[in-house]
C-alpha cells in the first residue's frame, strides 16, 4: 500500500537501530482490513526488507516472534 511505502524509512530506521533479532513484523488483522488487505500488508513488509539477507528476513518474519513468545517451547 502507498501508506506503508511512505513509511518505509521508519521501518528501516527501527530495524537499523535495534537489529532484526529484536524486531518483528506483525499485523492487527482482521481489525486492520479496513485500511488494506492481508496480502497487501505482508507483501509491503516483504518489499521493505527485500534488500536484507535471508537470515535477517527470517528473524523479522518468524525468528524473533518465536523466541519472544516461546513458540518453540515444549507444551507442558
Does 73 fall in a domain?
no
Q: What is the pLDDT of residues 11-41, one digit of tens each?
A: 999 999 999 999 999 988 888 888 888 999 8
Does 36 fall in a domain?
yes
Looking from the CA of 72 toward its CB, the CA atoms found within 13 Å total: 7
Does 49 fall in a domain?
yes
Does 15 fall in a domain?
yes
Under a CB-based contact definition with an 8 Å cutoff, are residues 41 and 32 in contact?
Answer: yes
Does 41 fall in a domain?
yes
| pLDDT on residue 5 | 76
Cell, residue 3:
501508506
Please state the domain count of the chain.
Answer: 1
Share of the chain above pLDDT 70, in %: 93
Residue 44's domain comprises: 2-68
pLDDT band at 73 (very low <50, low <70, confident <90, very high): low
Does 45 fall in a domain?
yes
The residues, ordered by sequence, that sit 6+ positions from 32 with a Cβ below 8 Å of its Cβ are 41
Q: What's phi and psi for 57, nearest 5 deg?
A: -65, -40
Does 39 fall in a domain?
yes
Q: Exposed/middle/buried for 40, CB within 10 Å: 0-12, 13-18, 19+?
A: middle
Does 76 fall in a domain?
no
Amino acid at each position: 500500500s502507498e501508506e506503508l511505502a511512505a513509511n518505509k524509512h521508519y521501518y528501516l530506521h527501527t530495524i537499523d537501530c535495534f537489529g532484526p533479532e529484536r524486531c518483528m513484523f506483525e499485523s492487527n488483522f482482521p481489525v486492520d482490513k479496513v485500511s488494506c488487505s492481508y496480502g497487501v500488508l505482508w507483501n509491503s513488509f516483504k518489499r521493505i526488507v527485500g534488500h536484507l539477507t535471508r537470515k535477517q528476513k527470517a528473524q523479522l518474519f518468524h525468528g524473533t516472534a518465536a523466541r519472544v513468545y516461546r513458540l518453540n517451547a515444549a507444551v507442558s
